[in-house]
Amino acid sequence: MTDASRSMLEVRDVTCSFGGLRAVDGATLTVEEGSITALIGPNGAGKTTLFNVVTGFCPCQRGSVRLSGREIARWAPHRIARLGMVRTFQLTKALSAMPVIDNMLLAAADQPGERLVNVVLRPRAVRAREREAREQARELLAAFRLERHADEYAGTLSGGQRKLLELARALMARPRLLLLDEPLAGVNPSLGRELLRHMQRLRAEDGITFLFIEHDMEAVMNHSDRVVVMAEGRVILSGSPRAVAADERVIDAYLGGKHVPLEEIV
Amino acid sequence: MTSSFALALGGLTEVGFWSGVGVLAGIYTLLALGLQINVGFTGILNFGQAGFMAIGAYAMAILVIDFDVPFLLAVLGAIGVAVAFAMVVGMSSLRLRADYFSIATLAAAEAVRMFAQNAQGVTGGNQGLYGFDVAWADASRQIEEWLSAIGVGDANGLLPLLLVVWLVALLAIVALRFLQRSPWGRVLRAIREDEDAARSLGKNALRFRLQSLAIAATLGALSGVFLALNLSFVNPQAFEPQASFIGFAVLILGGLASYGGVAFGALITWTLLEATRFVDLPLSDTQIASLRFVLVGLLLIGLMAFRPQGVFGKRQEMVLGD
């Protein structure tokens, strides 16, 4: 990391509870600009809920969320997405009954044709943006080796391809920060490696920052430059993969008390 | 049985019968196009289309009778009132889950009908409202003159209404198809598929759902205006929840996510509903009236068994939808 002082996302003391259950209970973390940060923790630690809170899908009852310094806690999800923080979901949300290409075009930012007035009064501007977006979509689909499926319904893709589509689609929305919720879950190993390579490439080429939830420790240790560990709704630790893997608390909370030497994980 | 068949065929060859069916089918095409954009393309379950229909008919009639507003302006005003009502219903209940929203719309439509029944000073109560169609009667005569000049005419004078209602319905189909192909229409479909996915990509789902509901209200109000012209009076009985559900029968017959299918579904549904009038069975009038719905029900059951996507619906969209 060249510019470690600039933070892309700052979460401070965020709380989110459902009924009596505090799924996120005062979580605090920072994602540096240009980093690939992994969020790990045992099941039920509140990782996905934290994603939901920072992206506006769950109510934030307390605390602050800042994206590039701007307070966005309690904003609606679509406004947060437009500000450049785009997420994917643990259970992939490919829009199955829409063609792959429409999935992509849907996500294109700044399409004037999403306003009824412009559909009627500015058809040229709408068509021009549509052409541009289509070209970009084709390029992305090619990069993710999905171009053959462009005109097929997204529901016909395999689970792994849907994950790729969701990532490619998120990129259409011009994100600065991408939140990926278990991008490797249910993906076969070779597609998984491809996904991780894409992450590295997008960070290098487009300067996109990543925060991803993952249980695959090999991917976490080899592909992230910071690891944040959650347990019981709080962030209990964050640091370099090496430091985190060696920490007693992580071994207790996450690896179930069984000491695993670092060499075995990495 | 033979005699009833003969009777049925005799009725079915009359021009008057078909123009009557045609007018009703046109009216319900408009009504169900609104359902199509809500249910078929946005995924919001609107059970209150009859309410917008009632508002369209009543608001038009009241504006013409009590405020001397010219007919066409009154129609625009009626659409405005229906859209405003849709916004109130939508903003208070579109955030609810789909099934709760559908109950809210049903309740809202019933509230409209109850209001019409009881606010006698404004709506005439059960007596209804008359005398709002003077301008239409003039226009209708004018159209009939043109028609007879080219040698077309019918006994019951329904042809002008038939032409106008289908002209409006076809224009609506063309306009809706145009909107559906636009990026705006794509967002609607995305919301139908998965609202959270659309929101995560920067789409303000509530805004699109409200717009979809506003369009449905507009079409509902238009159908109400034509229903009023067809009956020459408006009264609350015309807007029972039944109207919404006939709309759903039309929708399902034609197929979800097809605007053209709506027109087809409306024609089939109303042919069936009206043709049963000619069935000569030893049954009372009310029994015959119920029989109409039994027939439509049987048709829908058959359809669900053999072609669940409707006649013009897309099978892939249905299978892949979940």
Please spell the DSSP secondary structure of A86-146, one letter per residue: EE--SS----TTSBHHHHHHHH-TT-GGGSHHHHHH-HHHHHHHHHHHHHHHHHHHHHTT-
B141 touches chain A (CB under 8 A): no
SS3 of residue B308 by DSSP: coil
B179/A155 touch (CB, cutoff 8 Å), yes or no: no
The answer to whether residues A259 and A239 touch, using CB atoms and an 8 Å cutoff, is no
Query: Chain B residues with CB inside 8 Å of A156's CB?
Result: 320
Q: What is the mean pLDDT of chain B?
A: 90
Rounded Cα distance, A206 and B109, in Å? 52
pLDDT at B319: 65
Distance CA B110, CA B286 (A): 23
Residue B42 pLDDT greater than 80, yes or no = yes
Pairing state between β A177-181 and A85-87: parallel
At A20 the pLDDT is 82
Per-residue tokens: A204? 């290098």
Q: What is the mean pLDDT of residues B288-296?
A: 82
Please give the Cα distance from B51 to A86 (Å, whole number).
40
CATH number for the segment(s) A7-94+173-265: 3.40.50.300
A134 touches chain B (CB under 8 A): no
Q: Do B200 and A77 touch (CB under 8 A)?
A: yes
> A173 to chain B: which residues are within 8 Å by CB?
201-202
Question: pLDDT grade, residue B12 (50/70/90)?
Answer: low
Whether the CB of A228 is below 8 Å from some CB of chain B: the reply is no
In chain B, the residue whose alpha carbon lies closest to the alpha carbon of A103 is B190
Which stretches of chain A are assigned E, i.e. beta strand? 7-18, 21-32, 36-40, 62-67, 70-71, 85-87, 177-181, 209-213, 226-231, 234-239
Q: Which residue, among A83, A116, A174, A178, would best test binding to B if mutated, counting the most B CBs under 10 Å from its CB?
A: A116
In whole angstroms, what is the distance from residue A210 CA to residue B21 CA? 61
Q: Which residue, A177, A227, A206, is CA-closest to A69?
A: A177
Three-class DSSP category at A235: strand
Quick check: B194 and A95 CB within 8 A? yes
CA A183-A95-B188 angle, 5° bins: 135
Q: Which residues on adjacent β-strands are paired with residue A71?
A: A66
Buried b (16+ CB within 10 A) or exposed e, A101-139: bbbbbbbbbebbbbbbebbeeeeeebeebbeebeebbee
pLDDT band at B321 (very low <50, low <70, confident <90, very high): low
Q: What is the pLDDT of residue B213?
A: 97
DSSP string covering B108-148: HHHHHHHHHHH-HHHH-GGG-EE---HHHHHHHHHHHHHHH
Rounded to the nearest angstrom, the minimum Cα separation between B177 and chain A is 12
Among residues 94-133 of chain A, which lie with CB inside 8 Å of chain B?
Answer: 95-98, 102, 105-109, 111, 113-116, 119, 126, 129-130
> Identity (one letter) of the amino acid at B122?
V
Using a CB-CB cut-off of 8 Å, the residues of chain B touching A86 are 200-202
Write the pLDDT tens digit of every residue in B86-136.
999 999 998 888 889 999 999 999 999 999 999 999 999 999 999 999 999
Residue B1 has pLDDT above 60, yes or no: no
In the predicted model, is pLDDT for residue B4 greater than 50? no
How far is A101 from A131, CA to CA, in rounded Å? 12
- Domains in chain A: boundaries: 7-94+173-265, 97-156
More confident residue, B262 or B273: B262
Higher pLDDT, B276 or A234: A234
Find the closest chain A residue to B321 by CA distance.
A97
Q: Which chain B residue has its CA at the smallest distance from A85's CA?
A: B200
Minimal CA separation from A158 to chain B, in Å: 13
Kind of pairing, strands A209-213 and A36-40? parallel
> Is B202 in contact with A57 (Cβ distance < 8 A)?
no
**Main-chain phi, psi angles of A95, to 5 degrees:** -85, 95
Packing angle of the helix pair A159-172, A100-107 (nearest 10 deg): 30
Mutation site, A79, A80, A95, interface B, largest B CB count within 10 A: A95
* Chain A residue numbers touching B186 (CB-CB < 8 A): 98, 102, 105-106
Residue B21 has pLDDT above 80, yes or no: yes
Q: What is the pLDDT of residue B85?
A: 97
pLDDT bracket for residue B318 (50, 70, 90): low
Cross-strand bridge partners of residue A7: A32
Between A257 and B71, the higher pLDDT residue: B71
pLDDT tens-place string over residues B196-230: 999 999 999 999 999 999 999 999 999 999 999 99
Neighbours of A71 (CB within 10 A): 11
The token duo for A71 is 């307070």
pLDDT by residue, tens only, chain A of 266 residues:
444 458 999 999 999 998 888 899 999 999 999 999 999 998 889 999 999 999 999 988 899 999 999 999 999 999 999 999 999 999 889 999 999 999 999 999 999 999 999 999 999 999 999 999 999 999 999 999 999 999 999 999 998 899 999 999 999 999 999 999 999 988 888 889 999 999 999 999 999 999 999 988 889 999 999 999 998 899 999 999 999 988 888 777 665 555 555 445 54
Who contacts A194 (Cβ-Cβ below 8 Å, separation ≥6)? A145, A164
**B5 has pLDDT over 80:** no
Q: Name A69's Cβ contacts closer than 8 Å, sequence gap at least 6.
A: A10
- The count of CB pairs under 8 A between chains A and B is 101
Mutate to test the interface with A, among B187, B194, B201, B256 (most CBs of A within 10 A): B201
Q: Do B186 and A153 count as a contact with CB atoms less than 8 A apart? A: no
Tell which phi-psi region holds residue A60, choosing left (phi > 0), alpha (psi between -120 and 50) or beta. beta
% of chain B residues with pLDDT over 90? 70
Residue of B nearest to A180 (CA): B200
